[in-house]
Structure formats: C-alpha cells, structure tokens
Structure 1
Amino acid sequence: MTDVDVTETTSTAPAATAAASTPAPAATTGSGLGARIGRIPVTKVSPVLEGGAYAAKAAVGEEFEIRATVFREGHDAVNASVIVTNPSGVETEVRMEPTTPLGFDWWHAYVSLGTEGAWTFRVEGWSDPWETWVHNAEIKIPAGIDVALMITEGTALFHGAAQRARQAGDHDTAAVLGGAADGLAAPQQVEDRLHVALAPDVRDAMHHYGPREHVSPTPDYPVFVDRQRALFSSWYEFFPRSEGAHRDENGEWVSGTFDTAQTRLEAAAAMGFDVVYLPPIHPIGTSFRKGKNNTLQAGPGDPGSPWAIGNVTGGHDAIHPDLGDFDAFDRFVARAGELGLEIALDLALNASPDHPWVKEHPEWFSHRADGSIAYAENPPKKYQDIYNFNFDADRDGIRAAWLEVVRLWMSHGVRIFRVDNPHTKPVEFWAWLFAEVRKTDPDVLFLAEAFTKPAMMHALGKVGFHQGYTYFTWRNEKWELEEYLTELTTETDSFFRPNFFVNTPDILPTFLQWGGNTAFTIRAVLAATLSPTWGVYAGFELFENEVLARGREEYLNSEKFEYRPRDWAAAEESGENLNLLLGRLNQIRREHPALQQLRDLTFHHAPHSSVIVYSKRSGDDVVITVCNLDPTSVAESEIVLDMEALGLAPGEIFLVHDEITGQSWRWGQRAFVRLTFDDPAHVLTVVRQGDSPHRSRVTP
C-alpha cells in the first residue's frame, strides 16, 4: 500500500490506497432548511461536535469511523466519499461504503490520520451513473430488455472514464477501460460481453474514473490529531516528598526530595509505566493547614496538603524548598526521560490563604458579604486551607497569569498536566487556554480530574481536554461495566478519552476495601485491558486498603496530609506486591495494538453473572479478556464467542494463549473457564495458523 497520511479501510476489506481528490464545489448557501440540503442530501454526519464548533479527537495512526446518511430521490444510484484535508491544506479522498442495515442509506469509511495537527473532513454525496448502469444492465441484458440501449450507454460510460484516466496520466487504466468499451460492443454473445465489461479490473478502474454527477459536499468539519500518548498511556502517581522521607535524630520529619525520588522513577519504569504523575510540588500554605487524616489542627511536623498552594516563598511558579530547586526538578525530569517516562504535573487552580496572589490580587477571589475571601466548600465538606479563583472578576488578568504558569512548567520539560477539579472552573476558560497552548505547543496534553455530572465531563472533553477521569471506579457489576464501556467506545469516543485510574489519593474504592488481594488483581486487569489509558496510585501494588472510617472512600493516614515512606525493598523480598502483574499488563499492552485503541470493543456471552468476557481487535491482532468480577468466590462458566467480531469463521477451532500465565488452549465458539482466587482473569491472544504465541510486535 502506498504510504500516505490517510489510509482507507472498510469493515470487510483491507486498507486501500486513498486517491487524491479534486476540489469539490462549495456547499449550498442561503437561508432556510432547503438551502442546507444539497442536490444529493447528506445528513447525520459524524463525528461532528456541536455542529463543528469543536474538533473531534483522533491520535496519530488511530483508526476511526466517519459516517453519514446519503440518499436521493428515485432509483438512481448514489455514492459518497470523505475528503480529508491535512494541516498543510492537501486534500485526500477516501471512498465510503454502504453499511448495515441495508435500506437505511448509512455510509461509512474508516480513516487513519498520519500527522499531528488540525485536520478537516467533509462528506461528498454524488449521483453515480456507473452504478446505476450496472444495476440496470445486470437485470435487463440477461432478460433481453433494451439490450442495444444498455450497450450504447455502457460504451459511452467506458469511453468517458478512459478519457479521464488519460488526462490523469494513467494510460494503463485507460487501456483497460478502452478494452471494456470494445468488448461491450464486440459481436459475440451479449451475456459474455457483459461478463467482460464487469470484470474486477474494469470495476476497479470505474471506481476511480467513473462519472460523478451533482456532487454535494457538506461543510468542512474539524478533527484534531494528537500524538499517540493522548490515546495510549500508562500512568503511575506518587508523592515525591514521601520517597526518601525519614525522621532525623530528634524524631523530626525530613522530607524526601526530587533527587531521592528518582529511585521511584526507576521502579515505575521497571513496571512498564510511561507517565509519572506528581501531585502539586509548590510551597504549601500555613494558614488553616490540615493535619493528619484531614484534621483541622496541624502538628508541627505535618506537611499539609500539597493542594493548598502558596506561601511567602512563592506560589504556582515556585517549588517547595523541601523538594529542591529548579535544577533538582530538571534533573528529575531528565532522569525520567532517560527511563522512557514523561512527567505529568498537577495543575490545581486554587490558592492557600498565604499565596502571594491573595495579597497582590485580592480581586481575583470570591468574597463573602462580610468582605472576607470565601474558602472552597462542597457542603458538608469545607476546605478552609484553599481559596478558589473568581474567573469573572479580572478575566484577562487571571487568564494571563495561568497561561504564564503553564508555559513556565512547559519550559522545564512538562508536556502533560493533570488538572485538579476542572469542572469547578468555567468551561470557556479551558477552551481559551487550550487554544493558546495549541498555537505553539500542540503536543502538550491535559487530563481532566472531573468526577462530576456527564454534561460537564463531556463539555470538558469537547473543548480540548485530551483525557478524563471516569466512573470506572464505581462500575463493578457486569451489566454496568458493559453498559458504561459501550457508551465510552461508541457514543462519546469522538470527544472523551477515558483514563481508568484504579485508585487515587482521594478515593479508596469500596471494592478494594472488602475484596482482598484478588480484588486488586481484578481491577488492574479490567483497567489495563478495557481502556487504552489507565493509572495506578502508589500503594496499590502493596494492596493498601485501610479505610478512614466505615462507609467512607478515604484512606486511613492519607498521604495527602502526611509523609508515607514505604518499605519497597521489604515488599519485593516478601513477594507481597503486584509489581510483576502490573509490569506484565503493561508489557502486554505495548505488544498488542488491540489494547492501544478505544473503539473496537466487543462483549461476549457468559451465563455466569460474575464472569465478564470481552475482546479488542486491531487488524489481525485480537485480545480476549475473561475476568471473574467476584473476588470472594471461584467462578466456573461456559462462554460463547461472537466469532465474526474475532475475525473467525463460526465453526473454526483456534488457539488462545494466556499472556499472563503462559498457558495455551484450543477453543471454538464455545469454551469453558475456571477462574480462581490466584488467577481470576485470562488475558488471551488469538493465535492464528502460522503464528507463534510469542511472536514479536512493533511497539509504538
């Protein structure tokens, strides 16, 4: 296949070369509904966000579907194409195909865009005299109806296509078309002439050079293509201040530093993670500082919540002096790069009462009726150590300040930001910020930490957040996982990229509280195989699950409010950790393209209520996951596979290889599984004839 920026595939055929497109006529203009419908109606185009106000999401090399409804009056044939335009303005045509169910006039094409940047696409519907003639000829000629007229019409179509081929310099194809015209007019049995005229090479030639009438384009709709890490990544979160933290000879805490935390970078890389996320690293306020377990009174050794940002030593543009200086941070970022890691930095748009901006720009914050600055609240929760910004006060000043903060950290090697509580800030602010950053640094990515209502989460995705936290944390039953993942992969996939974190410093899911070590394995397997992006907060691999209080989802002795140095070496020696599993899951993800994409997910049938079965497929690469969702019992179940979704024939027998245990079995459409406490899940690759279970694959 020719190497082009756009590849064309269909649901039933391999990728084909996309042909260069000539400019299409402008869309119909005017007022009223009729003015928006072309000669050939093209409706229900997707992916289109808010009428094209925002760009749909894609990543470099990611295959996604473009759909439209295309039809016309009467019985003549219509056809459709997608015209994609790359950031340099070069147009490429991708032919669309009708899709099921037939009779609904649904058309689609799968495209893969090869370079980062702002692309557009439009759909062109057009009348297709060639397909109209084929339909009529295949009926009339065998029946002896209007034979001479059909031959005359067909010959004219071939001659016209041959002329267009010669004008394009494609003389070989012109010869094929000329031969078809001669063969159709040859003095031989008319059915034989029709057979020659409809040969595969002739059909292919007419596919490229056949006539198009009444070409009717839609407007150009935007698609922004991000680097691959926007879609596919594995995150590991830890607090640098805890790595190397210790008590001195007087029993006082000494903070870890960026230099001592480098050993945790090495551990994250060894487990196969590629993004390390740091909570805020800035100076922490002293006013209303929170103590251990979020108490209102901090002791002399309590470091405070890193989200209470700012004191006399600086704000968001400064580093907590206990962690080091900018040189130390630069060494930390450089070491991460050597290990193949990227640093994601927390971007928390809030300030402690001691933040320099509180004195310099008090107008930037909300004030109560008594004139005092309002601290953050989510009743009944109160955050006395945090002030929120009022983005409707000095809008230009606040915007400029935050853009400067983002650019500062970008200049120190940060290309990924995890944004704290973006749903409590105006959506229009984010749209503005992302547009400004994208002008100069389109590779910079933003993750939305927004556990909130769907409308807000979706809006944040539409205006530019590259990834978002999800409800995965609270989806544990089979029916709710299937329902939620169907939504994520088919309804919101063009604007919302899910990041499946299995835990966070704020959230200790109840499933992990009562499910024992098996629960940790189950959630890791689900997150790593259901979503192309997933994340782990440090301590998960040690099975940490002590809860603050019954009915709460908060860790006892939360690292948000104290130092939590962990004895990683002892955990390694004892084997009481999930390091090997996490590393193996990340390795499987790197080796299998099926797990690096969001959309091609199929759920299969298991009659057992706690056994979930699903597959992901990318070309010939197929991964089947079977998982027991109940960590307290062994599950035995038959499973019934959708063979078409796997690219297999209904009665085919095939080999599956468990990428976790190394075992292999022969399966058919029906199979049996037994899932135990030690092995509650299978991650299976389908081994086709001639393949090896351990064959190498390209790592993106």
Structure 2
Amino acid sequence: MTDTPDWAAHAIWWRLYPLGFTGAYPAAVAPAADEHRLRRIIPWLDHVTELGASGIALGPLFASTSHGYDTVDHYRIDPRLGDEHDFDELVAQAHARGLKVQLDGVFNHVGSAHPIAQAALRDGPDSPAGQWLAPGADGGFVPFEGHDILLTLNHANPDVQRLVADVMRHWLDRGADAWRLDAAYATPTTFWAQVLPQVRRTHPQAWFEAEVIHGDYAAFVQASSVDTCTQYELWKAVWSSINDRNLHELAWTLSRHDELLATFAPSTFIGNHDVTRIASRLDDARHLPHAVVLLAVLGGTPTVYAGDEYGLRGVKEDRPHGDDAIRPAFPATPADLAGADQGLFRLHQRLLGLRRRHPWLHRATATPTQLSNDHTILEVAHGGHALSVTLNLSDVAVPSGAGDVLDQDDGSQHTGDSVAPHGWRIASLR
C-alpha cells in the first residue's frame, strides 16, 4: 500500500447522488444538457461547509442510460446533468470553499449500451471488442450480479487497465481529488494493484475509496493498494446494536474495527445512497443522536449522506426503482427543504466541529470501559489523547465517564456524574 495523502486525515465527506439530487433520474422526461442541472448542487456548497464537512462525494456523473451505474461513456458528463463546463464550474466553486471533490468510478462493468459492449454483443467473445468483457460459461458475457444491462469488464485485459487509468487521470486533471471505486469487491485486487500505482505516479495526492461490503477489509486494502474501503460491518453494528439494545454487538465490532485501524483508516458512515436512511432504520428516534455521536468520534474517515443531517427518511426496497426513496430530488436551497430537523443539523455541526478540533480521532481506537446491553462507556484514544463517550439507551440514568464535558445531549436533565435516560455525553480525558 502506498502512502495516503495527508489531507485525508482531516476529510469529512458529504455524499450525494447527483442524478436523484437534481431530479434528473427518475424523470418522466429526461432533462437535456442545456438545463445544466449539475449546477444545482452549487447553492448547497455553503451548506456543506456550514455542516462541517470538507468535501463532496459525488455519485456517478458520466453518460449512462438509467441510474448512472450503467456507464456508456467515461469521458462525457451525463447529458441529463449537463456538460463538462458545468462540471468545471462545480469543481471550481467547491475548491473555492476549500472542499475536495470525489467522483464515483464505475470500473467493474459497463452498460450494455456502451459502444464496446454493443460491438462485443454483435461480434461475439472472440472479437476484438469481445476481449474487453468477461467471458461467460454459456459463450456469452458475464452480467454484473444478474443484471443484463450491466456487463462485467475483462480486468485481465491490458486495454481495460489502460482505459481505467486514463479515465482516472483525465478527471483528476480536470480537478477531481478522489475516487470511489464502485463494486470494487467484485473486481480482482490484482487489477487495482496494477492500475492505481500508475495513477498515483502522476497524481500522488489522489485518494481511493473502494466499495467493499463483506470479507477481509484489511487484506483487500493491502492487496489492492487502495487507501480505504467502506466499513459496512460497523454500519450494520451501529443501527443493529441500538435497535436491539445489545451494545455487546457494537463492542465486538469495535474490537474488529480497531484491528483495521492498525492497517488503514476505514470509510465510516451511518447512511449512503444504497441503504435505508438511518432515521428510518432506527426504531426509537431518541437514539438517532447516538448513531451520529458514533460517526463523529470513531476512527476512520466519516461520511454524511445528504439529508441525513436533517433526519430525512427513506426505505430501500428490493424491487425495480427500490432506491428512489433514498435518492430523492432536493430543492434549490437548504432553506427550501421540507421536513428538515434543524436540531439534528445543529447536532451534526457540533459533533463534526468536535471532530475537527480533535483530528487524532482519524486513527483512534475505541475500548469499552463499562458495558451492558443498553449502556456503555467507550474510551476513544490515540497518540496520548483520549475521550470518554457515554451512551445510554436505557430508561434510567447511568454513571457517566470521567473527564471534562465537551458535549452532551441537551434534551434531558443530567446530574454531574450521570447521564440521563436515552442520553449521551462526550468528555475529555487527556
């Protein structure tokens, strides 16, 4: 693994799905490029800085036929969003505010309407175009996870490796700072190990986040040379342990998370464009702040999914267009967002501000010093610094951790040495 750029230690991302955010997909009539919908993100950039994030993580932007993950041209902005000049303006406005920009790279597969895929389907697996796609056992090509509109690339083909490296460099040259590698778990780690060093030679400050759902995260990072991967195990443990009032599950997962931190800083989140929103996932709304506390204080590189800071709701369903509810259109400005929980937004501001004031949290480990089913005290520590984090899911007050109080829930009454029912507290130990 190569050195991760220094700026990543301070990164806090705000993730959005541009096709949905701008109302470009789904739409009864697909918008034209002259609507310049990508620029609709610009009025939200001040919101991102006010939130306390340091970068915008954009979903797929490149030309496709439906949801953006069926790419047909990696070098062209999706015309439903606009054109390259719109991209340039968005990047310029983000950088002017000190925000990094991450792009979503769909390099495991292409859409069946991609010119290479069309030629391969016409001329067969033995044709020059056919060599670009993974051959199937039936003499055809391998669809990605059973989706016929997504055809898996042949990652052993040097031409595919050159294409991906060139696409990455093209958009990094144009101002991008980082890449999310979509479905990286389905792509051989040897492919990434071939491609990413090539890109780093010309762009040493680029940062690469791999989408990995299951498996040995540390082994994947080491074998692939990515900087980080998505910490789905921790995501699941946060909402599951809170819902079940089984904080032993959280403690067990944190022990595994701490092991990962010895190798890399995982990409942490409590919501994204592929999962039910955290406000809908949690059974008890009183415990939504507890999930935000964990996102803010645990080691790794945290991401807030657009709208989660306002408590937006949405349930992912296993059906066609089952992602639409979690990828809604947003209004022109934050002030126009209906149903926004301003208190939750202010909580995000406070907690992300706390994280920025304690940048050592990026590699901090978390050890329970008290633990029961429904309350815990975590010592979050790194490099001689430490915080005490008390989480109470119970109906009674519980003893709090020691230290000087830095923040606590403001909706309940605490005594000096206890945390109120369903409350939380963060204190400085050293």
Q: TM-score scaled by structure 2?
A: 0.83
SS in 1 for 2:260: coil
Which residue in the other structure is 1:590 paired with?
356
SS in 2 for 1:612: strand
With over 3 angstroms needed to count, the CA separation of the structure-2 counterparts of 1:505 and 1:259, relative to structure 1, is same
Asked if 1 retains the 8 angstrom alpha-carbon contact of 2:271 and 2:278, the reply is no
SS in 2 for 1:387: strand
CA–CA distance in 2 between the matches of 1:665 and 1:506?
37
CA shift, 1:367, in A, is 3.6
With over 3 angstroms needed to count, the CA separation of the structure-2 counterparts of 1:548 and 1:435, relative to structure 1, is closer
Which fold has the larger relative contact order, with Cα–Cα distance below 8 Å and residues 6 or more apart in sequence? 2
2:283 pairs with 1:515 = yes
CA shift, 1:617, in A, is 3.5
Which amino acid counterpart does residue 458 of structure 1 have in structure 2? A
SS in 1 for 2:265: coil
Task: Identify unmatched segments of 5+ residues in structure 2.
Answer: 120-128
Asked if 2 retains the 8 angstrom alpha-carbon contact of 1:655 and 1:665, the reply is no
| Superimposed CA distance per residue, residues 512-539 of structure 1 (whole angstroms, 9 cap, x where no aligned partner) | 4242433432211111111241112223
CA shift, 1:414, in A, is 1.1
Which residue in the other structure is 1:565 paired with?
330
CA shift, 1:635, in A, is 4.2
2:86 pairs with 1:325 = no
SS in 2 for 1:434: helix
CA shift, 1:487, in A, is 2.4
Which residue in the other structure is 2:7 paired with?
229
Out of 37, 62, 72, which is 1:257 matched to? 37
CA–CA distance in 1 between the matches of 2:314 and 2:357?
35
CA shift, 1:401, in A, is 1.0
| Superimposed CA distance per residue, residues 533-552 of structure 1 (whole angstroms, 9 cap, x where no aligned partner) | 11122232233334355x99
Structure with higher helix content: 2
1:193-212 correspondence runs (5 A): none
Task: Identify unmatched segments of 5+ residues in structure 1.
Answer: 1-54, 56-223, 286-303, 642-653, 689-700
Out of 43, 54, 63, which is 1:283 matched to? 63
| Superimposed CA distance per residue, residues 545-569 of structure 1 (whole angstroms, 9 cap, x where no aligned partner) | 34355x99x9663456xx6235842
2:115 pairs with 1:356 = yes
SS in 2 for 1:627: strand
Runs of 4+ in 1 over 6 A off after TM superposition: 662-667
Backbone CA RMSD of aligned residues: 3.2
SS in 2 for 1:318: strand
CA–CA distance in 2 between the matches of 1:468 and 1:619?
23
Which residue in the other structure is 1:634 paired with?
395
Which amino acid counterpart does residue 317 of structure 1 have in structure 2? Y
Which amino acid counterpart does residue 450 of structure 1 have in structure 2? V
2:195 pairs with 1:430 = no
1:27-426 correspondence runs (5 A): 55=1, 224-245=2-23, 252=29, 254=31, 257-285=37-65, 304-310=66-72, 315-349=73-107, 350-359=109-118, 361-368=129-136, 371-377=139-145, 382-392=146-156, 395-426=157-188
Which amino acid counterpart does residue 49 of structure 2 have in structure 1? A
CA–CA distance in 1 between the matches of 2:415 and 2:420?
15
2:234 pairs with 1:467 = no
CA shift, 1:603, in A, is 2.2
2:219 pairs with 1:458 = yes
Asked if 1 retains the 8 angstrom alpha-carbon contact of 2:10 and 2:362, the reply is yes
Q: Percent identity?
A: 21
Which amino acid counterpart does residue 250 of structure 2 have in structure 1? L
SS in 1 for 2:271: coil
SS in 2 for 1:500: strand
With over 3 angstroms needed to count, the CA separation of the structure-2 counterparts of 1:252 and 1:388, relative to structure 1, is closer
2:373 pairs with 1:609 = yes
CA shift, 1:485, in A, is 1.8
Asked if 1 retains the 8 angstrom alpha-carbon contact of 2:178 and 2:207, the reply is yes
With over 3 angstroms needed to count, the CA separation of the structure-2 counterparts of 1:256 and 1:243, relative to structure 1, is farther
Which residue in the other structure is 2:424 paired with?
681
CA–CA distance in 2 between the matches of 1:592 and 1:363?
50
CA–CA distance in 2 between the matches of 1:620 and 1:660?
26
Asked if 1 retains the 8 angstrom alpha-carbon contact of 2:234 and 2:268, the reply is yes
Which amino acid counterpart does residue 4 of structure 2 have in structure 1? D
Asked if 1 retains the 8 angstrom alpha-carbon contact of 2:275 and 2:316, the reply is no
CA shift, 1:571, in A, is 4.3
SS in 1 for 2:276: coil
Out of 254, 272, 288, which is 1:485 matched to? 254
CA–CA distance in 1 between the matches of 2:264 and 2:343?
32
CA–CA distance in 1 between the matches of 2:410 and 2:102?
32
2:309 pairs with 1:535 = no
CA–CA distance in 2 between the matches of 1:351 and 1:331?
27
With over 3 angstroms needed to count, the CA separation of the structure-2 counterparts of 1:574 and 1:231, relative to structure 1, is closer
2:389 pairs with 1:622 = no
Asked if 1 retains the 8 angstrom alpha-carbon contact of 2:279 and 2:308, the reply is no
SS in 2 for 1:609: coil
Would you say how many aligned residue pairs link Structure 1 and Structure 2? 406
Q: TM-score scaled by structure 1?
A: 0.53
With over 3 angstroms needed to count, the CA separation of the structure-2 counterparts of 1:566 and 1:260, relative to structure 1, is closer
Asked if 2 retains the 8 angstrom alpha-carbon contact of 1:512 and 1:520, the reply is no
CA–CA distance in 1 between the matches of 2:139 and 2:227?
38
Which amino acid counterpart does residue 681 of structure 1 have in structure 2? W
With over 3 angstroms needed to count, the CA separation of the structure-2 counterparts of 1:419 and 1:519, relative to structure 1, is farther
Which amino acid counterpart does residue 191 of structure 2 have in structure 1? F
Which residue in the other structure is 2:405 paired with?
656
CA shift, 1:621, in A, is 4.4
CA–CA distance in 1 between the matches of 2:230 and 2:387?
24
CA–CA distance in 2 between the matches of 1:251 and 1:227?
43
SS in 1 for 2:112: coil
